[in-house]
Structure 1
């Protein structure tokens, strides 16, 4: 089974890229972030024509998350991360899919930091930490996949000395990610590639992709039940080089059935 995560950076504007990637790689389950489309504008038919069923939580111009599956057994659990009833941003979607409990997330960017946006990011991380603890305690096979907007270590960022004050790399954010993982989650990429330079995002500016001046901010966290099934993980970095593509590349894992 292959599960992928892809920040599409506008699902309608990048639809040809998304469909080409789906055709070429054919993942079983896909978590998507940053749809940038209201609920009624999600391209359900085009995705269905490729053999995928979908649930999504849209939002005009910003945010937006979706889960795709080759089977029709997607059972939505929640489209809200618990803990703040006033937070209406479409950043979280949770469902059971093909026997796996899937959390698709788009964590806030948090810049400029310090400031209200950074405080919101840390609060969101705390809510995710609390919710994730309950998911682990359930004993179910769980994956939390998406754009976490954090580079966990210096290996995960090109020229880390330039990022010290950025909300994606500040010590508070890296500690929040570490605290989450330390609950008992496995960072799939780092389990299989503990020392390699691997990026999932390259800015559109300064020829970042051609220079491989990237960041690793898209992550898969696996519960122990899925950790023991992990076979492979990788990044489809070539997709970042396609015309009119997202600034993120798709990330994926393969699990034993």
Structure 2
């Protein structure tokens, strides 16, 4: 199974790039960010024609997230993070797809630092961490995929010394990411490529892509049981070089099959459910 995350930077303006990439790589599940479109402008017909069903949480001109699947329509579990009913930004969407729980997120950029936007970023991170704790505690296989707007280490940015006061590399944001991982999540790219400089974003300015002056800010975090099934992870960096493309590149993982449960364990589990239902 291949799961990907892709900040499309405008789903309608980059639709042909998205469809071309879907046709070439055929991921099973895709998390999209920065749709920059209200709900009624999401290109559902084109996505369906490409072989995918989708749910989405749009917003005019800004933000917006979507989850695509080839194996049936994702079953929505949640839109928006808990913890702040006044936060109406379209930044989080969660669904069940078969055995998996998939969380698609677009964490706030937070610039400029210091200031209210950075404080909002940290508050949003705290809410994500609190919700992630409930997910990892559920025992279900979970992937949290998206644009985290954080470079976790110096290995994830081409010139660390130039980014020390940027919201994406501030120590507070990096520590927040580290606290999230301590719950038991695995950063899939770093797990498969522990010492490599791998980037997922290249700015449009200063010829950044040609110079490989990139950042790694798009991440797929796996719950412990999914981490055991991780076979491969990478970035489709060539997509960043296509015409009229996003400034992000698709980032993906490949998972092996779920381990088969023994008939005895399955029978015991069913028996316990029946006993609990009678109480």
TM-score, with length taken from structure 1 = 0.99
Q: Which residue of 2 aligns with 1:38?
A: 38
SS of 1:108's partner is: coil
User: Where does structure 1 differ by over 2 angstroms across 4 or more consecutive aligned residues?
Assistant: none
Equivalent runs, 1:138-217 vs 2, <5 Å: 138-217=138-217
Q: Which residue of 2 aligns with 1:113?
A: 113
Q: Which residue of 1 aligns with 2:68?
A: 68
Matched positions, count = 257
Q: Which residue of 1 aligns with 2:252?
A: 252
The answer (yes or no) to whether the contact 1:17–1:245 under 8 Å persists in 2 is yes
SS of 1:197's partner is: coil
Deviations 1:136-182 (A, max 9, x none): 10000000000000000000001100000000000000000000001
Deviations 1:66-121 (A, max 9, x none): 00000224110001101000000000000001211000000000000110000000
Q: How many Å apart are 1:59 and its aligned residue?
A: 0.2
Q: How many Å apart are 1:219 and its aligned residue?
A: 0.2
Q: Which residue of 1 aligns with 2:269?
A: none
Larger Rg: 2
The answer (yes or no) to whether the contact 1:54–1:67 under 8 Å persists in 2 is yes
Q: Which residue of 2 aligns with 1:227?
A: 227
Distance 1:60 1:159 in 2: 34
Query: Considering only aligned residues, what root-mean-square deviation do their CA atoms show, in Å?
Result: 0.5
Distance 2:98 2:6 in 1: 19
SS of 2:211's partner is: coil
Q: Which residue of 1 aligns with 2:59?
A: 59
The answer (yes or no) to whether the contact 1:110–1:118 under 8 Å persists in 2 is yes
What are the ranges of 5 or more consecutive residues in structure 2 without an aligned counterpart? 258-279
What are the ranges of 5 or more consecutive residues in structure 1 without an aligned counterpart? none
SS of 1:210's partner is: helix
Q: Which residue of 2 aligns with 1:24?
A: 24
Distance 1:211 1:74 in 2: 39
Distance 2:52 2:161 in 1: 42
Equivalent runs, 1:95-134 vs 2, <5 Å: 95-134=95-134
